[in-house]
């Protein structure tokens, strides 16, 4: 196993999540973004350019079943000339989005701060939805934890089952957080949907979970979902 790096510092990530509120995303933090490495339209380099321009303090690229976007973004950050025009750069964590079954419902599990090379992550980094046992939410959450990461239930109010059923079930499986701040109606500018946000935040408090935020960008602008 590789040694921990800043991209796998789960303790620092938890400290940030403790501060997340309605105004955190998309100007300061964004923990849900996609690139051309899965179903997004931005290259990792384009995404990082926007992240720096926006002034993000911390972020994660969460491509579906892939970390190639993370690796390209990390390379971009590492190769910026020290005399370049950027006054500050965002802290980048490892991230991905996994499709899994929870209460016989297809959901998305976000993973953060994990070690990509850990053998437990192999079934989830093949570029496609995991099958069989690996496709169960409990297995995905356990794999992320084994790799030193944190697991979050993405957009809990978007599924066939309501969040009041899914969140307790995910909490029982050991999930660390829920994506509480999310724009379900694709508002422009990006704004968390009030009613689902309130419900998910209440459930996160009830079950002792972190409340995270992210734009879930798939288009060409990090300030929007689509």
Instruction: Write out the E strands in the chain.
Output: 29-30, 58-60, 91-93, 95-102, 105-112, 150-153, 177-181, 210-213
Model pTM score? 0.96
Residues 44-89 pLDDT 10s: 999 999 999 999 999 999 999 999 999 999 999 999 866 566 778 9
Domains and CATH numbers, the chain: 6-213 (3.20.20.140)
Q: Please name which of 165, 133, 166 lies closest in space to residue 152, comparing C-alpha atoms.
A: 166
Chain centre distance of CA 178: 10
Query: What does the pLDDT read at residue 117?
Result: 96
- CA gap 63, 69 in Å, rounded: 7
Of the pLDDT bands very low, low, confident and very high (cuts 50, 70, 90), residue 204 is very high
Residues 3-14 pLDDT 10s: 458 899 999 999
Whether residue 197 is predicted with pLDDT greater than 80 in this model: the reply is: yes
Query: What does the pLDDT read at residue 4?
Result: 53
DSSP letter at 14 equals H
Chain centre distance of CA 206: 22
- CA gap 128, 130 in Å, rounded: 6
């Amino acid at each position: 196993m590789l040694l921990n790096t800043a991209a796998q510092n789960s303790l620092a990530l938890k400290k940030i999540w403790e501060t997340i509120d309605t105004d955190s995303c998309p100007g300061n933090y964004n923990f849900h973004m996609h690139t051309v490495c899965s179903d997004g339209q931005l290259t990792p380099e384009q995404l990082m350019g926007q992240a720096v321009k926006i002034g993000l303090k911390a972020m994660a690229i969460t491509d579906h079943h892939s970390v190639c976007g993370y690796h390209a973004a990390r390379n971009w950050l590492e190769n910026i000339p020290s005399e370049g025009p950027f006054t500050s750069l965002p802290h980048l964590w490892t991230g991905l989005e996994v499709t899994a079954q929870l209460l016989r419902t297809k959901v998305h599990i976000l993973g953060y701060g994990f070690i990509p090379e850990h053998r437990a992550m192999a079934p989830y980094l093949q570029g496609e939805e995991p099958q069989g046992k690996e496709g169960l939410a409990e297995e995905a959450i356990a794999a992320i934890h084994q790799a030193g990461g944190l697991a979050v239930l993405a957009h809990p109010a978007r599924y066939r089952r309501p969040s009041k059923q899914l969140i307790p079930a995910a909490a029982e499986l050991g999930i660390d957080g829920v994506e509480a701040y999310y724009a379900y109606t694709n508002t422009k500018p990006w704004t968390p949907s009030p009613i689902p946000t309130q419900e998910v935040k209440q459930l996160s408090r009830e079950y002792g979970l972190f409340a995270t935020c992210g734009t879930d960008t798939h288009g060409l602008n990090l300030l929007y979902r689509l």
